[in-house]
């Protein structure tokens, strides 16, 4: 186990060094916007993970390359650590404004920023950002300093692709160890034979699409600061906004419809993006997941439109289409941008229960594996459906028949089909189990009669699917402490697809003598 500690410590140190580097880059924002009071807090926030990471890396530099077990522990502990240390800018800047910084002019404290003087709220915001969830502890994002608006956006943008992918691209060495870490972050397909080349290509595609998204939103009429932030969080399918009512603040049909393809881009796997950019356009329909990104989102949006128009709150077909299409795509891509709020129309939490459950189903399934989206992923849902159909049809064939299951242009024999079906089933069962447990816990802790079962199920699915849509439960005062801690866990397991977190907890409990 000592060898395992060294391996995990070395790679965890690399991740913390990368996190500190991200904070140092962010020092540009308070300088450009003249928010000099935020500089000391942001600098200290950067030095803490940098120092700890440097010590860990130097202490265990000669450790062995990670195996599958180490990779899972590194992924789980790395994302947990990033969530904890990523909260420092929220916490320290909020306290800087509260207490005043000698030698700098500090703005007046606001209730929104004061919420981050509570460490749990700061950790919640950080974990929500890095996991790409988008649920927030702010009640008015517009009054936050630009430095924190940027840090929320930047954390989601980095977290969308993955902190381990970032670390591998910048700091890590080539070899089997890097591949293990890459796979531990719920990714499997490679673009190039070299894992370092693969992750660098992923980042180049992501940066290219980010600039395109920002330009498109700016041309649609969004102010440039909003376009930068929403372009980054929209492509990362994160959903943090810099405005109080998310995208509804702009109340613009053009912006709504420009954001839909941006969110869809984020929900398609990066290897498919690479092939399409190389000119192989067949992947729009030949890749099973990409085909279903459009197929199931089209079906879900049409169903939601029908609910909202014929039995719901909207009086015109276009209004039902505008809000239904946007909200289903936002949910199914796990982005979490919201246009259905009371300020401009009818809030999501007041939609009919069957409309809310339709959106919940979209959050449950999510986007393509290998993308920035959450949920159980399309490929697992399709594997389950095809596997069940295969098992039922098996009854009608003679025992001597040799049958193969075809998934995404791959023909699997009985053993391969059984293994993939089992893996998909385990993820779905675990996902559903934690969804039910979280719903039960929240029902026990929320004030009786204030929220419906559909509201609570919706909120837990949003946290675990890393979506960020809210039925009105999440907030610094409205969500009880137990609910905040539970949601931290849901966001964490949702981003890593549960199993790495369970492996880490089992290891900790076993070493502590709790689990045998």
State the chain's mean pLDDT as an integer: 89
pTM (2 d.p.) = 0.91
Q: Give 164's contacts (C-beta < 8 A, 6+ positions apart).
A: 15, 74, 75, 78, 181, 182, 184, 185
Q: How confident is the model at residue 51 (pLDDT cuts 50, 70, 90)?
A: very high
Least confident of 64-78, 289-303, 394-408: 394-408
Here the tokens at position 24 are: 């140092």
Q: How confident is the model at residue 150 (pLDDT cuts 50, 70, 90)?
A: very high
> For residue 41, with 0-12 CB atoms within 10 Å meaning exposed, 13-18 middle and 19 or more buried, which class applies?
buried
pLDDT tens digits for 382-394? 888 888 888 888 8
Distance CA 383, CA 369 (A): 12
pLDDT tens digits for 217-252? 999 999 999 999 999 999 999 889 999 889 999 999
Asked if pLDDT for residue 303 goes beyond 60, the answer is yes
Contact 19, 86 (CB under 8 A): yes
Question: Rounded to a whole number, what is the distance in angstroms from the first to the last CA of the chain?
Answer: 16
Angle of the 119-130 helix axis to the 146-161 helix axis, nearest 10: 50
Average pLDDT, integer, range 43-55: 97
Torsion sign, CA atoms 380, 382, 383, 384: positive
Q: Between 179 and 207, whose confidence is greater?
A: 207
pLDDT tens digits for 177-196? 666 777 766 566 777 777 78
358-332-274 Cα angle (round to 5)? 160
pLDDT at 377: 86
pLDDT tens digits for 446-473? 988 888 998 899 899 999 999 888 888 9
Average pLDDT, integer, range 368-393: 86
Q: Between 398 and 159, whose confidence is greater?
A: 159
pLDDT at 407: 78
Beta strands in 289-441 (DSSP E): 405-407, 410-412
Asked if pLDDT for residue 175 goes beyond 70, the answer is no
Distance CA 122, CA 138 (A): 10
């Amino acid at each position: 186990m000592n060898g395992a500690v060294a391996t995990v410590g070395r790679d965890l140190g690399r991740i913390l060094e990368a996190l500190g580097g991200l904070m140092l880059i962010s020092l540009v924002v308070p300088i450009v916007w003249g928010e000099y009071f935020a500089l000391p807090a942001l600098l200290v926030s950067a030095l803490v993970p940098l120092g700890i990471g440097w010590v860990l890396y130097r202490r265990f530099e000669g450790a062995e390359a990670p195996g599958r077990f180490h990779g899972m522990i590194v992924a789980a502990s790395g994302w947990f650590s990033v969530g904890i240390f990523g909260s420092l800018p929220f916490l320290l800047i909020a306290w800087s404004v509260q207490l005043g910084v000698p030698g700098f002019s500090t703005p007046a404290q606001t209730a929104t920023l004061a919420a981050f003087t509570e460490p749990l709220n700061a950790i919640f915001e950080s974990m929500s950002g890095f996991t790409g969830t988008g649920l927030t502890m702010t009640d008015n994002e517009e009054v936050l300093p630009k430095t924190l608006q940027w840090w929320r956006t930047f954390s989601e943008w980095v977290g969308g692709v993955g902190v381990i992918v970032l670390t591998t691209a910048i700091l890590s060495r080539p070899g089997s160890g890097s591949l293990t870490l890459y796979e531990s972050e719920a990714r499997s397909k490679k673009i190039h034979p070299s894992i370092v080349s693969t992750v660098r290509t992923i980042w180049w595609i992501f940066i290219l699409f980010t600039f395109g998204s920002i330009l498109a939103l700016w041309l649609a009429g969004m102010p440039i600061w909003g376009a930068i932030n929403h372009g980054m969080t929209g492509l990362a399918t994160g959903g943090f906004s810099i405005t109080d009512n998310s995208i509804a603040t702009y109340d613009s049909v053009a912006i709504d419809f420009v954001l839909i393809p941006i969110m869809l881009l984020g929900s398609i796997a990066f290897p498919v993006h690479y092939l399409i950019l190389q000119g192989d356009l067949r992947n729009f329909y030949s890749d099973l997941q990409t085909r279903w990104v459009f197929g199931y989102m089209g079906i879900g949006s049409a169903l939601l439109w029908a609910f909202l128009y014929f039995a719901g709150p909207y009086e015109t077909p276009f209004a039902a289409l505008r809000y239904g299409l946007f909200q289903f795509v936002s949910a199914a891509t796990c982005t979490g941008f919201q246009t259905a709020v009371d300020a401009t129309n009818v809030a999501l939490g007041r939609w009919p229960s069957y409309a809310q459950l339709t959106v919940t189903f979209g959050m449950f399934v999510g986007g393509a594996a290998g993308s920035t989206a959450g949920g159980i992923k399309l490929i697992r849902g399709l594997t389950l459906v095809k596997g069940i159909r295969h098992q039922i049809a098996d009854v009608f064939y003679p025992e001597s028949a040799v049958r193969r299951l075809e998934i995404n242009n791959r023909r699997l024999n009985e053993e391969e089909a059984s293994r993939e079906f089992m893996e998909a089933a385990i993820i779905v069962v675990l996902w559903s189990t934690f969804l039910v447990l979280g719903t039960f816990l929240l029902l026990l802790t929320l004030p009786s009669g204030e929220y419906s079962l559909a509201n609570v199920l919706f909120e837990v699915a949003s946290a675990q699917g890393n979506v960020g849509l809210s039925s009105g439960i999440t907030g610094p005062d409205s969500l009880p402490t137990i609910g905040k801690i539970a949601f931290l866990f849901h966001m964490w397991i949702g981003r890593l697809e549960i199993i790495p977190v369970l492996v880490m907890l089992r290891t900790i409990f076993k070493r502590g003598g709790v689990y045998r």
